[in-house]
Amino acid sequence: MTKPDYSVLVAQQREFFLSGATRPDSWRKAQLEAVKALFTENHDELCDALWKDLRRNVTDADLMDVAYCAKEADYALEHLAVWMEPHRAPMPLVFEPGHIRVRRDPLGVTLIIGAWNEPFMLTFGPLTAALAAGNTAVLKPSEVAASCAAAAARLVPKYFDPRAVAVVEGAVPETTALLEQQWDFIFFTGSPPVGKIIHQAAAKHLTPCVLELGGKNPTIVHSSAKLKVSARRIAYGRFMNSGHICTAPDHVLVWPEVKDEFVGHLIESIREFYGDDPQKSPDYGRVINRRNFDRLVGLIGSGKIAAGGKTDAAELYIAPTVLVDVSLDSPIMQEEVFGPILPVLEIESVEAVIKWVNERPSPLGLYVFAEGADVVERILDATSSGDAEVNDCAIHPLFPELPFGGVGNSGMGKYHGRWGFEAFTNARGVLYHSAKLDPGVRYPPYTKHTLERRITSALTP
């Protein structure tokens, strides 16, 4: 099999970028309008692709992928002028007349490697940031969500100049070949093990990266929490998209005295959301493929089934499942669940929660359900996570005002809204110094008098 060669594609995009065509705000706005048009004019086709890959209902398809991408582009359009404005800083007196500016310059030719669980959000969300920042981009959608990848490959050439945005379909060989090219920036969403491969490839060219990697997101339910509301929000965050969400609550740590009541509310919430037989619910999804189905089925035996547990390989169906009496060394506690199974464990104190979180890799999300601000702030102050939510979970990526991203094992770098614009740009400091005045205080020969004047002037803005 001939190894793919993407050198011509990258060279064409680099030539286009170096021409200066991507820098004007008019070009950037036109590309953002194209993103909006792609997702509004092809709404039904894109929703259909999500149904084929994930059995995603239209409401969730819009929330996480289709309408979401149009709104992300709209938000960038609304704020682009402010983002592009250079930041001013005060000039020390000794260097007057002059001024200081911090520009946000585009990085150049970028590679965006998406994920299958939210195949449009996790590919076109970063693309929106890249285009707002004045870059070109090559998109590598996940081959696992085959219908969505094909839709992206079919539609992108209709809305974008390939010198600015191109799609490469394929799997590991194609991704490996892409990583052999020299990029100015790489954006990857996926697992920590693959993130390490991406980072190693980028290091060969000292290419900067944003890595969105997920992890086991601990969800704390304190004895003071509103249990029914907590259960509804946790069930929603865990079982939406059949659990295929990197920000979903991975496991619950609940105070023993409220555990049974909380689990009862979880069971009620599942029934309220999906009926007595979730397999028949039009709002409940399926596992992406057989490999992931088999992996998840193997995790169900990690505890006692309090709800769900039913599986159907022919439909790639796993019922919304709640496990209790889960041991710490069980399989489900060793890896990110990334599916419709929620283990519930007991924990007895805030200090035990802090110890639990700090003994494990930093998660992408940390969720605290409690009514006492002292409990919440104590946990937040003593732990680390990419982001956090109080009395909710999994929804913070929907807010462009918030930086989104991991820390440590869950990733590096932030995006969404202005944070995405800044990720795809270089903060370039520029000192403008007039040649009309040139006081000798900065030059040798140095005397005590000139040194004192230099120090005083340097400290005076």
Catalytic residue among 47, 246, 336, 393: 246
Establish whether 246 is a catalytic residue: yes
CA triple 198-204-210, angle to 5 deg: 40
Residue 21's CB is within 10 A of a number of other CB atoms, namely 15
Q: What mean pLDDT do residues 450-455 have? A: 60
**pLDDT over 80 (residue 453):** no
212 is catalytic: yes
Cβ neighbours of residue 403 closer than 8 Å, sequence gap 6 or more: 387, 414, 415, 416, 419
Phi, psi of 154 (to 5 degrees): -75, -40
- Which position among 72, 118, 209, 212 bears the catalytic label? 212
- What is the band of 94 on the pLDDT scale with cuts at 50, 70, 90? confident
Looking at every residue in the chain, the average pLDDT score rounds to 95
Measured in Å, how far apart are the chain's first and last C-alpha atoms? 64
CA 11 – CA 359 distance, rounded (Å) = 46
Residue in 352, 368, 343, 372 with CA at minimum distance from that of residue 266: 343
What number is the average pLDDT over the span 430-451? 79
* List of domains in the chain: 7-213+412-426 (3.40.605.10), 218-405 (3.40.309.10)
Q: Which residues of 53-65 are buried (b: 16+ CB within 10 A; e: fewer)?
A: bbbbbbebbbbbb
Quickly state the pLDDT bin for 10 (edges 50, 70, 90): very high
Tens of pLDDT, residues 231-241: 999 999 999 99
CA distance linking residue 366 with residue 78, whole number of Å = 30
Lowest mean pLDDT among 141-155, 282-296, 307-321, 447-461: 447-461
pTM: 0.94
